[in-house]
Amino acid sequence: MSYPSEWALRRVIAFLAALGVGVATYIAVEAAGGDAPRCIAGSTGCATVAKSSYSHVAGVNIAAFGIVGYVLLLASAFFVNDLARFGGFVVALGGFGYSVFLTYIEIFKIEAICQWCVGSAVLMTILFALSATRLIVYAGAENQTTRQPGLRRATG
Amino acid sequence: MSSSEDRRKQLLQLAAAAVFLAIAVVLVLIVVNTSSSDGGDTELEGVAEVNQDLAGIPQREMVLGDPKAPVELVEFGDLQCPVCKGFSEEVLPPIIENQVKNGEVKLEFRNFTIIGEQSPPAGAAALAAGAQSRGWNYVELFYKNQGAENSGYADDAFLESIAKGAGVKNLAKWNQDRATFLAKVEATTAEAPELGFNGTPSFAIQGPKTDGLEPIGTPSSTGALEEAIEEAS
């Protein structure tokens, strides 16, 4: 079985994490202005979720935690060592786990779906899969400072 | 075994432990949130406080204050909305105590029901209380006893307990009126987006210096509301 190069994984992780920073920043900015993110097609789901008690943890909008998480994931893509591989995996795992919890809350407690939150959850899910692949395939690999398109443990 | 392989093995063991921990944390969060109290007790809190705070202030339908007050402040809210509860308890009381009581401002509550299926009946119940000049008592008491949104607490028994606590005298009439006011709840809910609102609470203001009813969004504090009132006066 062949795996993508770590260089390719890092590029996709960086791209998706940058997208995530954009999504989380949009939600945070709208919330800071006393508004809710605008749902597509006039749905009020975004307003309902944004105004629910689950939108804040310890008085801080969860979008702010999202920004921090995505920035850390973005940073992990710029380094080629085990700390970045493992750190990126842990952050993505936390983000993915929290996204699962929030999606459950949206469906069963708030009974409203915020399209921006779903977008962020999808990004986190893909980032978790990529970070896990990066860690499983490349953990313990020598630190690389240049592009390495070749595969490691690419057979099997 | 090389040190690189050792490190790899350790990292993967740590990662597996982190995955198990994450699964456990998510499951605990879900279980805690599923079994947590959903509030909305029919043994009410704050009955005396609400009725005392509003005593002596004229009320007609959902308007609180002197009908001739030059400035009208309109709140578009959802009774199930926790942020509206926060506004009711922290931002609005000084406005009611000062500008409303001295006849400068009248406050109107309009339903903008976005939280869930129990929001429109709750809003209609408030309007039915308003028909007996107890609308603001109903709104304030509801907020005081608000449960977790969409947890199902705002059932008929809860709505009726709020009506009793708010001092609605003719409960049979209130019960009849509730159904007819649902259309009005729908109408004001449709009106809010036309003013550019997409969340609750949102405010609009009308006064001698405004061009009709002007949206002011969600003011961040009592001070910001007072500023808007001054500009409209």
Question: What is the predicted ipTM?
Answer: 0.78
Rounded to whole angstroms, how far apart are CA atoms A63 and B24?
23
Interface membership of B15 toward A (CB under 8 Å):
yes
* pLDDT tens sequence across B163-190: 999 999 888 899 889 889 999 999 999 9
**CATH number for the domain whose boundaries are B44-232:** 3.40.30.10
Distance from CA of A11 to the nearest CA of B (A): 22
User: DSSP of A120-141, one letter per residue?
Assistant: HHHHHHHHHHHHHHHHHHHTTP
β-strand pairing of A60-61 with B63-64: unpaired
3-state secondary structure of B157: helix
User: What is the Cα–Cα distance from B129 to A50, expressed in whole angstroms?
Assistant: 29
What average pLDDT is seen over chain B? 88
Q: How many Å apart are CA B104 and CA B206, to the nearest integer?
A: 12
Q: What is the DSSP string of A47-75?
A: HHHHTSGGGEETTEEHHHHHHHHHHHHHH
pLDDT tens per residue, chain A (156 residues)?
688 899 999 999 999 999 999 999 998 888 777 666 777 766 667 877 776 667 777 778 888 999 999 999 999 999 999 999 999 999 999 999 999 999 988 887 777 788 889 999 999 999 999 999 999 999 888 765 444 444 444 443
How many Cα atoms are found within 13 Å in the side-chain-facing hemisphere of B48? 0
The answer to whether the Cα torsion of A4, A8, A14, A15 is positive or negative is negative
Tell me, yes or no, if A15 comes closer than 8 A to chain B by beta carbon.
Answer: no
Using the structure block, give the residue that is written with the tokens 């993110």. A37
Q: How far is B199 from chain A (nearest CA, A)?
A: 5
d(CA A81, CA A75): 12
Q: Which of B11, B82, B83 sits opposite A140 (nearest CB)?
A: B11
**Mind listing the pLDDT tens digit for each residue in A133-149?**
999 999 888 765 444 44
Q: Does the beta-carbon distance from B83 to A141 stay under 8 Å?
A: no
- Which is nearest to A46 in space by CA: A109, A103, A116? A116
Residue B218 sits at φ, ψ, to 5 deg, of -115, 95
On chain A, the residues whose CB falls within 8 A of the CB of B82 are 51-53
Decide if B124 contacts B181 (C-beta within 8 A): yes
β-pair partners for B63: B60, B108
Provide the whole-model pTM.
0.54
Q: Chain B: nearest CA to A68, how far in angstroms? A: 19
Q: Which two tokens stand for residue B229?
A: 């009132």
Q: Does B195 touch chain A (CB under 8 A)?
A: no
**Cα–Cα distance measured from residue A18 to residue A25, given in angstroms and rounded to the nearest whole number:** 11
The minimal CB distance from B15 to the residues A97, A111, A135 is found for A135
